[in-house]
Amino acid sequence: MSTRRIRVLIGKPGLDGHDRGAKIVATALRDAGMEVVYTGLHQTPEMIAEVAVQEDVDVVGLSILSGAHLSLFPRVRKELLARDMGHVVLTGGGIIPAEDVASLEQQGYAKLFGPGTRTEDIATWIQAEMQRRWSDEGAAR
């Protein structure tokens, strides 16, 4: 693994007021050696994208339980692209039906995690994905 620390933003878009899972994931990622920024509740897609730019993150993970994932997740991606942050790994989790997972992954979300996913599995996936991307960057030079 690279000696560079992975920088992750955990965002809670929309009016969803349940953040226990997001906080648990944020803590687990921090414990796995990543730098983690948690935006807090009730963030707009614009706010999440702006924090991603300011914090120069590698990964944006969204947490949603409200059912608004098909409108909010694409808006976050659009805002990131508008800020030249298309290289950021997009991930997330929450209550997302399988058919919606497939749709969001086609739209650029690398991996979505459902309820019951072990936090260790999330951390391991992010570490492997970033290692792969950083290796690809080195090979392209």
Residue 141 above 90 pLDDT?
no
Would you list the domain boundaries of the chain?
7-128
Q: Output the CA–CA distances (angstroms, integers) from residue 39 to 68, 69, 136, 137, in the order listed.
A: 18, 17, 29, 28
CATH says 7-128 is which class? Answer: alpha beta
Mean pLDDT of 105-125: 97
The pLDDT tens digits for 10-27 are 999 999 899 999 999 999
For residue 1, what pLDDT band results from cuts at 50, 70 and 90?
A: very low
Q: What is the pTM assigned to this prediction? A: 0.94
